[in-house]
């Protein structure tokens, strides 16, 4: 019997995956996995279990009333989980916090496989997990990693594809930073605790051209997205603009070149902000977004970078009257460095 993997994405960013058997209602599959999705009647009458399907196909049947789910709502992919029977893998946005549904973040233990510095800009961290517990996540999501001995955690996006037993992360090298200091002395075999996945910044179904905008180590989630697309057969053009402050901040360009070779529909450009740079494209990402990439708004835009970059892109789109078909963005900020002892 066929089964389908459904990602339940809660409003606090926690994501849990459930296997839904062919013909099984999503509400029943969630309960079987001890996830108490909102419900009251479970008969398609009250509308309490209303969620939004963000990806995948399904059958809603006809055993519900108009007061619970109107035709207009159904056309906008709102669903009743007590009636929804998935017919493919998919994503469902649940409009409540995970704690309300008596579920939460998943935890696993991982082993350091490698720590690779890239100039003074970034560090690639690779972690191994047991194959039978390799985490499922949506490409673009992140996890919290405990910094050993500190009681603190740091959030990092996956660079690898879901389901792999080796996890990759691109980490900004922060002078005096908790994780940067720990990674400076980390060695293969060290153990780390990982919690997740989390986040609402992830790749949706691809139905139109994609414009990716990455700032610094905000490149990380796009590497995960590109790996997933490279394993499939994307039909839409994909262009990435990768902006950094200094020449030495341009890292993993070889990985982007490899994706361009694997993905005929993928192209990318790099941009350096520093005036003294010898890079052929200087300035900021907003100065390298030509009209043919924006396509008059007929494009899905994904943006990940530091707050000033995210704010600048949003202002640029607004000032130029460009409304992308969909616009997904995530801001990240460097964690505060360790305080010096008095």
**269: helix, strand or coil:** strand
Rounded to 10 deg, the angle between the 220-230 and 253-262 helix axes is 20
> CB of 124 within 8 A of CB of 180?
no
- Point out the residues of the chain with pLDDT beneath 50: 336-342
Cα 295 from Cα 283, distance rounded (Å): 22
What are the structural domains, with CATH classification, of the chain? 3-101 (3.10.20.30), 106-198 (2.40.30.10), 210-331 (3.40.50.80)
Phi/psi-derived region of residue 61, left when phi > 0, alpha when psi is between -120 and 50, beta in every other case: left
**What is the model's pLDDT at position 334?**
66
List of residues 6+ apart from 226 with CB closer than 8 A: 238, 256, 259, 263, 266
Cα angle 98, 86, 22 (rounded to 5 degrees) comes to 115
**What is the model's pLDDT at position 132?**
75
Q: What is the pTM of this model?
A: 0.87
pLDDT digits (tens, 9 = 90+) for 67-114: 999 999 999 999 999 999 999 999 999 999 999 898 888 888 999 999
**What is the model's pLDDT at position 200?**
87
**What is the model's pLDDT at position 340?**
38
Handedness of CA 125, 206, 233, 60 (dihedral sign): positive
């Amino acid at each position: 019997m066929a089964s389908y993997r459904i990602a339940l994405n809660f409003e606090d960013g926690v994501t849990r995956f459930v296997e839904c058997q062919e013909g099984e209602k999503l509400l029943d599959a969630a309960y079987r996995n001890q996830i108490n999705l909102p419900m009251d009647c479970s008969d398609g009458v009250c509308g309490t279990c209303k969620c939004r399907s963000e990806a995948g196909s399904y059958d809603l049947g006809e055993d519900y009333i108009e007061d619970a789910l109107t035709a207009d709502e159904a056309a906008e992919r709102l669903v009743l989980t007590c009636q929804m029977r998935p017919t493919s893998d998919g994503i469902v946005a649940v409009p409540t916090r995970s704690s309300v549904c008596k579920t939460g973040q998943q935890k696993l233990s991982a082993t350091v496989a490698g720590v690779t510095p890239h100039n003074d800009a970034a560090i690639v961290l690779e972690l191994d997990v047991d194959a039978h517990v390799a985490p499922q996540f949506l490409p673009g999501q992140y996890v919290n990693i405990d910094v050993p001995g500190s009681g603190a955690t740091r959030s990092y996006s996956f660079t690898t594809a879901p389901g792999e037993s080796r996890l990759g992360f691109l980490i900004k090298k922060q002078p005096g930073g908790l994780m940067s200091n720990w990674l400076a002395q980390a060695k293969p075999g060290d153990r780390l605790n990982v919690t997740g996945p989390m986040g609402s910044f992830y790749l949706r179904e691809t139905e139109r051209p994609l414009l990716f905008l990455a700032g610094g180590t905000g490149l990380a989630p796009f590497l995960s997205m590109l790996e997933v697309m490279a394993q499939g057969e994307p039909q839409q053009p994909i262009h990435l603009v990768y902006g950094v402050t200094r020449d030495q901040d341009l890292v993993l360009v070889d990985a982007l070149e490899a994706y361009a070779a694997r993905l005929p529909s993928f192209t990318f450009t790099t941009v350096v902000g520093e005036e003294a740079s010898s890079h052929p494209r200087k300035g900021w990402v907003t100065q390298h977004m030509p009209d043919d990439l924006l396509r008059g708004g007929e494009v899905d835009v994904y943006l990940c970078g530091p707050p000033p970059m995210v704010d600048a892109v949003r202002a640029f789109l607004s000032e130029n009257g460009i409304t992308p078909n969909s616009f997904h963005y995530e801001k990240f900020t460097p964690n505060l460095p360790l305080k010096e002892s008095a």
